[in-house]
Amino acid sequence: MFSHIKYYVGVDGGGTSCRARICDLNGNILGEAKTGSANILLGGDIAMASIQDAIATAAAQAQLLPSDFQLMSVGLALAGAEQKSAWYAFMAQSHPYATVTLNTDAYGACLGAWNGDDGAILIAGTGSCGIFLHNGEQHIVGGREFPISDQGGGAVMGLRLIQQVLLSADGIIPQTALSQHVLTHFNHDIDAIVSWSKTARPCDYGQFSPAIFAYASEGDELAISMLQQTASDISMWMNALIHRGADKICLMGSIAERIHSWLAPPLQRRIATPQGDAMDGAIAMAKSSHNLYPL
């Protein structure tokens, strides 16, 4: 590590948001901030802009100056980093920091969850990915991005919900309070749904996941079926990690943290409490090299 480093910066970036945390060399938190998407598959330049905005905002909280950026070691735990060409394209961009380390958001979350030790996690937020770190090796399941992967995540939940809402609008399945909620969101205009879908991003689909949980708690049949499918997806990923040798699994992310009661008791007993989060893992990455691919 460079001798002139004075700050460690951890960044956790996914399809919905990007969080940055600045610490001093003793681990004291100096500033934190949150901005927009930092999934590098949605555009490395867009992700870099979100990252720099988040770091600059956190730096302002810490009363740091732009000249202090060159004293920062930055650990990036970003969605999409598992895609090799996207990783290299992102890392080829210029930046003002002393050094940058890039790995996946799942890797950063696993480091944080197990305090740097071996262990397994399943992230289910906007997207989904499982990872088991064991004896220096990464065992990964899923995480190949929406719409071809990410089962159990909010974006897939939202996509399935839109499909069901359209079926209800055609009179093929019954309408429920949840489907009416979605139709109202689009002013009961089916053409508006179709037009929206042409440019909708994962986070746009994922915006409906809170409503699914809310209506399920009220007994809405469509919402309940949605969560049963999501629980089945998350069970699939957990069993895949167990098959690879994981014992306990930390469930992390907005969907995973709320799905516990929908899982079968044997899997509930496999759930462990995270010791930290992806921000902690990203800070650990900033302290030493955890690059996914060599520069």
pLDDT digits (tens, 9 = 90+) for 37-96: 899 988 999 999 999 999 999 999 999 999 999 999 999 999 889 889 999 999 999 999
**Rounded Cα gap, residues 283 and 295, in angstroms:** 20
Digit-coded pLDDT (tens) for 175-221:
999 999 999 999 999 999 999 999 999 999 999 999 999 999 999 99
pLDDT at 2: 58
Task: Report residue 235 as tokens.
Answer: 């069970």
Enumerate domains of the chain plus CATH numbers. Answer: 7-115+276-287 (3.30.420.40), 154-272 (3.30.420.40)
Label residue 3 by pLDDT band (50, 70, 90).
low
Angle between helices 177-185 and 221-243 (to 10 degrees): 90
Which region among 59-63, 233-237, 276-280 has the lowest average model confidence (pLDDT)? 276-280
pLDDT at 16: 80
DSSP code of 4? T
**Dihedral of alpha carbons 18, 121, 104, 22, sign:** positive
Nearest to 240 by CA among 102, 129, 145: 129
Mean pLDDT over the full length of the chain = 94
**Rounded Cα gap, residues 28 and 273, in angstroms:** 23
Q: How far is CA 168 from the centre of its chain?
A: 31
Label residue 289 by pLDDT band (50, 70, 90).
confident
Higher local confidence (pLDDT), 290 or 198: 198
Digit-coded pLDDT (tens) for 9-23:
999 998 788 999 999
Label residue 4 by pLDDT band (50, 70, 90).
confident
DSSP code of 153? S
Label residue 295 by pLDDT band (50, 70, 90).
low
Q: Give the start-end residues of each E strand in 126-270.
A: 128-134, 137-142, 249-252
